[in-house]
Amino acid sequence: MSGKAARKSRSQTPKSPPPVGKGGGGLPRAWLYGGIGGIAAVVAIVLVLASVLGGDDDSAPSAGVDGTATAQLLDGIAQDGLWLGDPAAPVIMYEFVDMQCPFCQKASTNVLPDLIADYVRTGKVRIQLRGLAFIGPDSEKAMRAVIAAGFQERAWHVEHLLYEHQGDENDGWVTDRLLRDVGAAVAGLDVEKMLADMDSDAVDDELGASAGEAQAGGIRSTPSFLAAKAGGKLSVVEYSTLEPEPFREALDKLLGA
């Protein structure tokens, strides 16, 4: 990605999510937030590091990305920005992730395919991806690509493929070569547009909004999930294992099953 020489500092005005009910859940996590001041500081540091370290790497070898399984999982399901699923779904769920978080990768592998097949594809649940970037510069660069792909209604394709090729934390695994290979594996995605949009003000705003929503919702670890009946009060989805069962129970309860 061709980064800006220096990203100007701006005051974000995050969107406020619906009120969040009491609840808790998630695996113990070392990467925790320390309040809104901590979030702002971390986001600012990541922006600077990404600008310095996120140079072009088109000379890197191809990652050999195969988008077949991802297409089978997602094709035919409505996407609108970072939303996945029917806008008329009776239940909504928010997923807060960091693209470098190994537990988030496990959720993408172990939990989301079942939920997408049985709840999203059937029109029962709509999920919104909320991207955080606090582990390091690769977190932000990857999430920028996901958000930019969302401008073309392909965010969930890019997110899923990046998780399939997740590397070690902060080792520079989110190369331009990987992003190009991931983009090329997604049918209908204009890769050059995605790469250009990654550095846009709209992506900056989306990152800031997600950080603000995490603070407002009491999100302190990743992955974290909030769910509610459409138009209702969000509450944390509690889980002790990253398997489909606890999420099925929570969604079935909201659906009245």
pLDDT for residue 255: 97
Residue 7 confidence (pLDDT) above 80? no
* Nearest C-alpha neighbor of 213 from the set 106, 122, 88, 128: 128
- Per-residue pLDDT of 36-45, as tens digits, reads 334 434 444 4
- Per-residue pLDDT of 101-118, as tens digits, reads 999 999 999 999 999 999
What are 165's strand-pairing partners?
Answer: none
Residue 135 confidence (pLDDT) above 60? yes
Percentage of the chain lying above the pLDDT 70 cut: 75
Residue 212 confidence (pLDDT) above 70? yes
Mean predicted confidence (pLDDT) in 58-80: 84
pLDDT for residue 257: 59
Task: Name the average pLDDT for the chain.
Answer: 83
User: How are strands ordered across the β-sheet holding 79-80?
Assistant: 79-80, 83-84, 125-132, 91-98, 224-229, 235-236
Q: What pTM was estimated for this model as a whole?
A: 0.79
Residue 128 confidence (pLDDT) above 50? yes
What distance in Å separates the CA atoms of residue 216 and residue 71, rounded to the nearest whole number?
34
* Nearest C-alpha neighbor of 154 from the set 80, 104, 255: 80
CA distance to 151, 188, 218, per residue, from 250 (Å) = 30, 34, 19
What letter does residue 232 receive in the DSSP assignment? S
Query: 12 versus 116: which is more confidently predicted?
Result: 116
What distance in Å separates the CA atoms of residue 252 and residue 244, rounded to the nearest whole number?
12
| Contact between 63 and 181 (Cβ < 8 Å) | yes
Phi first, then psi: what are they for 102, rounded to 5°?
A: -65, -30
- Per-residue pLDDT of 231-243, as tens digits, reads 999 999 999 999 9
Mean predicted confidence (pLDDT) in 16-26: 40
Phi first, then psi: what are they for 233, rounded to 5°?
A: -85, 120
Residue 146 confidence (pLDDT) above 80? yes
66-255: CATH topology = Glutaredoxin (3.40.30)
Phi first, then psi: what are they for 47, rounded to 5°?
A: -60, -45
Neighbours of 172 (CB within 10 A): 15
pLDDT for residue 62: 58
Sign of the alpha-carbon dihedral angle for 186, 242, 91, 94: negative
Q: Pick the range with the lowest mean pLDDT from 42-46, 58-62, 156-160, 225-229.
A: 42-46
- Per-residue pLDDT of 166-210, as tens digits, reads 999 999 999 999 999 999 999 999 999 999 999 999 999 999 999
pLDDT for residue 58: 53
Q: Pick the range with the lowest mean pLDDT from 37-41, 85-89, 131-135, 139-143.
A: 37-41
Percentage of the chain lying above the pLDDT 90 cut: 73
Mean predicted confidence (pLDDT) in 13-27: 40
